[in-house]
Amino acid sequence: MVTFRTSAIAFLTAVFTCQTDATATPKLPVAYQAQPVQNCPPSPVSSQKQAKIFQDFLQTFLIEGNITKTATFLDVDYIQHNPYVLSGRQSFLDAFGSGGGGNSTFEIVHTALQNNIAWVHYKNIAPGSPLTAVVDVYRFNGSCIMEHWDVIQSLPADAINPLALF
C-alpha cells in the first residue's frame, strides 16, 4: 500500500513539474479531472449488461491497469472498506495514482455476480513479494459500483499445504 502512495506522489510531482506557467493556478492533473462517466451515476441495466460492465471493469483495472478509466466505474461517493483507502472516487485515484498495482501482475481465477454483488478472486504476483490471494467484493447499483470490500492473504513462509493458495 505504501508503494501505491509513493507512486501517486511521484505522479503528482511529475505532472506539476510540467507546468510551464508558475503563476497560473495549478490545474488538476489530467488523470484527476472529471472523465466522461458512462456507468456512474447509476442507471438501471439488465443483469447481462451489468455482467458485461463488471468484466470491463476487471479488464480495465486488473489487466490494463488504467486507473483513470477504472475510476469511471465507481460512484463518486462509493463506499470503501479497504483499511488503507478512504471512500470516494477521488480517494481511489489518490491511492492508486497512475501506477495501478506497482509491479504487480494480477491473474484472475474466479469471478461471479448475483443480485448486484460481484466478486473476483485473483493472484497478485509481485517480484520480491510472496504470492498473494485477493478477493474483491463489489456492490453494484444498476450500471455503477457503489461499494467495495477486500480480503487479502499472502502465502505464509511456513505453509504446510502444497496446494496453498491456488
Ligand X SMILES: *[C@@H]1O[C@H](CO)[C@@H](O)[C@H](O)[C@H]1NC(C)=O
Give residues in contact with ligand X (CB under 6 A).
Answer: 3, 7, 41-42, 66, 68-69, 102-103, 141, 146
Nearer to ligand X, 66 or 90 (CB): 66
Question: What DSSP string runs through 1-28?
Answer: -HHHHHHHHHHHHHHHHT-S-TTSPPPP
Nearer to ligand X, 10 or 159 (CB): 10
Cβ-in-10-Å burial (0-12, 13-18, 19+) of 129 comes to middle
Q: Give least dist CB 110 to ligand X, A.
A: 25
Q: Give least dist CB 23 to ligand X, A.
A: 29
Nearer to ligand X, 3 or 87 (CB): 3
Q: Give least dist CB 12 to ligand X, A.
A: 15
For the record, the C-alpha cell of 165 comes out as 493458495
Nearer to ligand X, 70 or 120 (CB): 70
In angstroms, how far apart are the furthest CA atoms of the chain? 61
| CA distances (Å), origin 90, targets 22, 68, 74, 107 | 25, 10, 10, 26
Residue nearest to ligand X (CB): 102
Nearest residue to 66 via CA among 90, 37, 24, 101? 101
Q: Give least dist CB 162 to ligand X, A.
A: 29
